[in-house]
Structure 1
Amino acid sequence: MSFVTSLKFRGWALLGAAAFCLALPGAITTLGNSAYAGGTLEERKQPMHFKWNACQGDCKGWVSAVGIVTSDSPREFEEFAKGRQLAGATIVLDSSGGSVNDSITLGRKFRSLGALTTVGATVRTQTPNGERASVVPEAYCESMCVFLLLSGKTRYVPPVAHVRVHQIWMGDRADDAKASSYSAQDLMIVQRDIGRLTKYTFDMGGTGDLLSLALSVPPWEDLHELSRIELRSANLTTTEMAADVFPQDNAGVPMAEAKPSKPQDRFVSSAMDDMQPQQGKSTKTAEAAVPTGGKASAPAQPAAPQK
C-alpha cells in the first residue's frame, strides 16, 4: 500500500483493497438501565478507545475513535488529550453508538476543540520504511456515532461509508421492544434524553431532518442507512473533499479505499450470538442501540426534506 501525493482529488484516493477479519455479530450487553451496542469488528465491540495516528512528512495525523460510547468515554478522552495539541484535530469514527448522554458530552468536547470529523477505519501496514497508518473509508458510524460525527466543525462522509440511524430506546429491551413492558420512569428517561439530543443537534448545526429520520425507526426495524441526499439535508456533511478533513502541506495523504463489500459480509452466523463483548460502565440514560445482527434498510430519498 502506497500513499497518494496530491490533494487535488475529490473523495478517497484508491490505493488498493484492504482486508478485514470478521468478528462476531454485535450483542446488547445490559448494564443497569442501559446497554451498549457492539460492532461487527473486534474493536467496535469494545468500549471506545482513542489513538493518535501519525503519518509521514508534514501530515498532521489524526485521532481514531473506535468502539461504543460508555460513561468512561468522556473522561478517557480527556486523559488522552492531556499533553497533546488537539485543536483542529481530525477524528476518524468507527462506532456502533452507545450511551446518549455520554455521547452528547463527548461530542461537545470534540466541538470545543474545533475538531474535524469523518468516518473510517484506521489500518496499519508494514512497509520497508516501517509501519504506516492509513484510513479505509468503508466503516460504520451508527446510532449515537452519527451525533459524534455532527460535532465536527468540518464533516466529511466518504461515499462507501455507512451512516445508519435508529431510535434511542431502553437498551436492555431493544431486542424485544414490542413484548417488553415500560414504567413511567422509563418513559421519562427516554423523553428527557430526546430533549437533550434535540438541543445538542441544533447546537451542533444539525437539522430537524436528522432527528426526524432517526426517531422514526423503532428498534424492531432495521437501521436506516442515510443516502447522500439525506446526509446533506441533515447537514452531516459540510464538504465533499476528503482533503478538507486531512489538512497537510505537500505530504502523503493518509487515505486508502477498500472495495465495497456486501452489507451481510460484515456479519457471521447468529449461532455465535452468545459471545458477549467486553462490558463498559453505564449511566442512567437511554441508548441508541443497534439490534443484534441487524442489516441496514435501503436508503430512502424523500422528494422533499421532512420537517
Structure 2
Amino acid sequence: MKFDSDLIQNSVARLSASVRIAVKAVMHAGEVAQKADRGAKTKDGEGHRSVVTQGDQRAEAVLVEEILQHFPKSARILSEEDADNQNMLKKDCPDGLMEATYAYIIDPVDGTAPYGSYLGNWCVSAGVMQHGEIVGGAVYAPDLNGGMLLVSDRERCVRVIDPSTSDDPLNLFGDFAEPVLPKNATVFFGVDSMLYPSLTKLMPEIAANVRVTGIANSGILALAQVACGRITAVIQTPQKAWDWAGAYRAVLETGRIFSFFRLVPDSENPGTDKLVEVGENTYDFDAFKYEKRNRLGYVAGEPAMVRRLMRLLPRKGYARTNPETVSGNWK
C-alpha cells in the first residue's frame, strides 16, 4: 500500500500549523533522498564513520525551503549540515534558539551509513520548538517496511502511518507506556554506545534478562520505534540535538520518558569520563550546542525499564574507543 497524501494531510489537519509544516517538509525531503545518489564521502577532517551523501545535501535544501516558504522571516533552523542562509543558526552556539517563536531542529538523513547501503533504517526528521520548548516533531522513514511516518504535537495524540501494519494507513496511538515485563522487553543500544567498553560489558546481563537486544544505527528512528511501542528502551551515549529532538515529543506524548545524562571528564581518573545525571525530560540550551561536552546522552522508553537501566549504567570509567585513530587496523 502506498502513502495517500490527501489522507495524510487530512489526518494532521487538527495539529498545529508548525507541525503540519514539519510533516510536509520531512515527507518531501524523504522522497528526494530516496532518489538521490547515495554514494558516501568522508567529511573533511573526520574519520571513516562520519560521511555525507548527495541525499543529505538535497534533503536539507528541501527541508529549509519548505520551512522558510511558510515562515520566511521568523523561523530559525538548526541542522547537522551547514547551509548558507540567514535563518540558519550557528551549530557551535545557536543564539536565539530558545527565544524563537518557530524553530526547527532538522536532520536531513539520520542513519547515513545504512542509507548509503540501501538499508531501510534511516529517516528524515524535524523537531518543532517554540520559545525553548520542543512542542512537536515529524519523523519519516520512507524505506522502512514500505514507509513510516510519526507525527507528534504537544497535548495531542501521536499518529503513525505505516502501510505495512494495517489495511488502514492511519493508526492512532494513545498511551502505550504500560509496564513491560523484562522477559518481554526489547532494548536497543545506540551505535555510538558500542565505542564504550564500559557499556558493552553490560550487554550480556541485559541480553540474558530481556527478549530482544539490538543496535540502533539511526537514533531518531529508534526513538520513533520507542514511541510506537516496538522498542521498550534505547540506551544512547551523548548525541547532537538533531539526533533526538525530532522524536522527543513523541516519546513524551505516549507516556514514555527520557532520562538524560552527560559524560564529563573525571578529575580523579584522568583520561576517562564520569556520568552525571541531568534529569528526566530535562534539557538546557547547552544541549543544542555542537561541542561534544554539551551533548546529552539518554535512556529513553517505558519508565520502569528506563529507571532500571539508568541504575545499571556505570557512573565512572567511560573511555571511548576512537574510530578515527583505530581505523585502518583491519586490512
TM-score normalized by structure 2?
A: 0.29
Highest RCO, 1 vs 2 (Cα 8 Å, sep ≥ 6): 1
Higher share in strand: 2
Higher share in helix: 2
